[in-house]
Chain A
Amino acid sequence: MLRNILIAIVLAVFAYMFYNVYSAYEARTELTGIAQHFAQNGATEVGAPNLVTAIVVTYRGFDTLGEVTILFLTASIIAFFLKLKDEEKETKILHRDTSELLVTASQVLIPIMFMFGIYVFINGHLTPGGGFQGGAIIATGVALMIMANPNIQINQTVIHWVESISGVSFVLIGILGIVLAGGFLDNKIFGENSLGEFGTLFSAGAIPIIYSLVGLKVGAEISNILNKYQKSQKEL
């Protein structure tokens, strides 16, 4: 009883705080500060129509590198945490039979999902989307694959190689930015005035390359996490 009252008090305090913020909130009518700079100069400085991508990959590129590192760290901790006692043990995971609908739908949908994921991260600088979203879509395909066939063997070697190569290439392109352009992760690695035609696929310097690498890395990492979850079911 006391517990319920305390919970109610905590929630009421939060609600009061949020109500004050809400009643004082007025939607803005114009851009201010750094956003104004990004809106005015983003197109000429970075050359990417999608300003969110311009901020994530170039203006705040170092932050994105840290973000990818956090994902890698999560995958490593989960791999360490859900380590099986003997990895090669051939136990079947007990499940009820997967439904016909799921199996057939997965065969039709998985190639399309992979293709859509790749489309989303290649066009990250033109349309809404990007590396993280595309990678998540690819990993959703992998999740569907695991659900349709719980005993499927996902090739770990491929996942690890894709993950390592794309991660290293991301950093290498960042270092190329120091050598050829203004600084770490600068996108003008092909020259100051060769950003390409604004709004086309091959434009915005290194952004499509970096975002594709991020997409591959995120897709591989989430697939790796899913694979670990799938395998650890053997011990339940």
Chain B
Amino acid sequence: MEYFELGHISLAIGFILIIVGFWGLLTQKNIIKIIIAFSILDTGINISIVSLGYVVGKTAPIIDNSVAQLENHNVVNSIVDPVPQALVLTAIVIGFGVTALMLAYAMKLFTAKKTLEINKFNDLKW
């Protein structure tokens, strides 16, 4: 029964997304598809980090009426861990920057060879 509780579900989804992302990175031949796989990998890692900060039965780390109405009015006993969420906020921004850069590179590669097949870019191969 404990496997159907929120922390376990989100951790499992995060891990599945990470594996799907790695599979995409390793098997896809189209550069745009590789970038999409990278985004999925990124999302999976973010979900895993957030789910590690989950505390059973607690609410979001925002001190408003819903927290004040909970039993014994103690913030410590009513919120989940805010630190992983703040870290993931940073990670999302970095992920955005990396994805934007990769798209710019993909655009340049396309102007160079008029194709996005990764196997066609074999200039450094011997």
Measured CB to CB, the residues of A under 8 A from B are 7, 10-11, 14-15, 18, 21-22, 25, 27-31, 34-36, 38-40, 42-43, 49-52, 54-56, 60, 63-64, 67, 70-71, 73-74, 77-78, 81-82, 126-128, 130, 132, 136, 199, 222, 225, 228-229, 232, 235-236
Contact = CB atoms under 8 A, between A and B. Distances in A.
Nearest to B23: A11
Interface string B62-103: 111000000000011101011101100110111011001101
A67 B23 contact: no
B82 A128 contact: no
A81 to B, nearest CB: 5
Nearest to B75: A39
Contacts of A56: 86, 89-90
Nearest to B84: A35
A127 B107 contact: no
Nearest to A74: B97
Contacts of B105: 81
Given A50-B61, A50-B63, A132-B93, 4 more contacts: A22-B15, A25-B7, A55-B82, A236-B107
A63 B90 contact: yes
Chief secondary structure at chain B's binding surface = helix
A132 B92 contact: yes
Q: Which of B22, B55, B97 has the most CB of A within 10 A?
A: B97
Contacts of A40: 75-76
Interface residues of B, number: 48
Nearest to A130: B89
Contacts of B53: 35
B18 interface: yes
Contact of A78 (B18, B77, B90, B101): B101
B56 interface: yes
A52 B23 contact: no
Which 4 residue pairs spanning A and B have beta carbons closest together?
Answer: A27-B7, A74-B97, A51-B61, A18-B15
B36 interface: no
A56 B81 CA distance: 14
B122 interface: no
A81 B106 CA distance: 11
Given A35-B82, A81-B104, A67 B18 contact: no
11 contacts: A22-B15, A27-B5, A27-B55, A39-B76, A51-B61, A52-B85, A52-B89, A70-B97, A126-B62, A128-B62, A236-B107
Contact of A229 (B6, B76, B79, B104): B104
B110 interface: yes
Contacts of B56: 27-29
Contacts of A49: 62-64
A132 B91 CA distance: 12
Contacts of B55: 27-31
A14 B89 contact: no
A36 B101 contact: no
